[in-house]
Amino acid sequence: MKYSSVIMGHISLDYNTDHLDNTVEVIGGAVTFSSASAYALGHRVAAVTKVAPEDKDRLSGLVIPEEDIFCLPADSSTVMKNKYFTADKERRECFNVSVGTPFNVNDIGDFDADIFHFAGLLYGDFNNDMIRKAAEKYDVAVDVQTLLRHRRDDGTMYFEDWADKKEMLPYIRYLKTDAAEAEIMTGLSDRKKAAEALFSWGAKEILITHNTEVLAFDGNDFYTCPIRSRNLSGRTGRGDTTFAAYYCERLNNSIKDSLLYATATVSVKMETPGPYKGTRKDIEDYINLFYKDCK
């Protein structure tokens, strides 16, 4: 089976509490949101995940076909609590209740695919040897959340820079950060300057998300596209949705067109909680309504 991308990561059970103290229980995780957006745009993707036997019902949270889901043995699953402090959901506090069994180099397998996406939630989900191994066969895509977000013994989380970034970034074809993560890695609040720094350290194509826009940089030119969601009820999963939509579109399209489709996808996704369940036509209709000036 030929895949555009293999997306590896934990399916998490998330307890999300908004700024009004309303709590909902949902299935989340980067692999959930990423596989959904790529699939919606017509790309065939494989999801490689780990959940404990008692949590196998989480697999139903993935929207891709069952035959494209590869669940590996695990002793534990990931559980997260997210508290949002503002209506725009830009400020949040995360608490890790349970850590999923980490992946290892043997879990990479041997897929017929163009891209291998490390879609983790915490530092330790993957190790450097896995990135090196994947880079031997695939274009590697990495969301740096899994390299910057650490867990304390009490479950609280904190961010710190990736100590091995300059050694490992040359193995990465597509690198995704949000604005805060880019600043942690580079010390630069200017997103364009941060993208230039990340490129200079070896990553080939940089994607930086922000609440106003998404920025892409390939070492030569900068591209931006605005986010135009009409509400933010589905804010969780913004970066994951954007990233997979973008790099899968890049297999056949320009950076400008890929960025447009990715940003439109995440804009409409953020209007509804959960992974995106629409179609490519839905995205194209959304572009015709709200992105005529970006075509």
CATH of the domain at 274: 3.40.1190.20
Four-CA torsion 52, 124, 116, 182, nearest 10 degrees: 130
Tokens, residue 137? 């066969």
Indicate the burial class of 272 (C-beta count within 10 angstroms; 0-12, 13-18, 19 or more).
Answer: middle
Closest CA to 230 of 265, 281, 284, 267: 267
Please state the φ and ψ torsions of residue 166, each to the nearest 5 degrees: -70, -25
pLDDT at 93: 82
The residue whose two tokens read 């509400």 is 231
User: Rounded distance, CA 64 to CA 38, Å?
Assistant: 9
Please identify which residue in the block is written with the tokens 């915490």: 122
Place of tokens 């990465």: 172
Neighbours of 225 (CB within 10 A): 23
Enumerate residues 6+ apart whose C-beta is below 8 A from 268. Answer: 229, 276, 278, 282, 283, 286
CA nearest neighbour of 99 among 50, 46, 160, 144: 50
- CA distances for 137 relative to 43, 69, 72, 131, 134, angstroms: 19, 20, 21, 11, 6
Low-confidence residues of the chain: pLDDT under 50: none
According to the model, what pLDDT value does residue 279 have? 97
Token duo for residue 205: 């194509």
| Residue 33 vs residues 1, 4, 95, 105, 198: alpha-carbon distances, Å | 22, 16, 20, 23, 25
Residues with Cβ within 8 Å of residue 295, at least 6 apart in sequence: 260, 287
Domain limits for position 94: 2-294
Q: Is the dihedral of CA 93, 99, 100, 105 positive or negative?
A: positive
Q: Tell me, what's the pLDDT at 26?
A: 84
Q: Find the helix packing angle between 30-40 and 238-249, rounded to 10°.
A: 40
Question: What is the domain count for the chain?
Answer: 1
173 contacts 115 by C-beta, under 8 angstroms: yes
14 vs 219: CA distance, rounded Å: 37
CA 94, CA 12: separation in Å to the nearest integer?
13
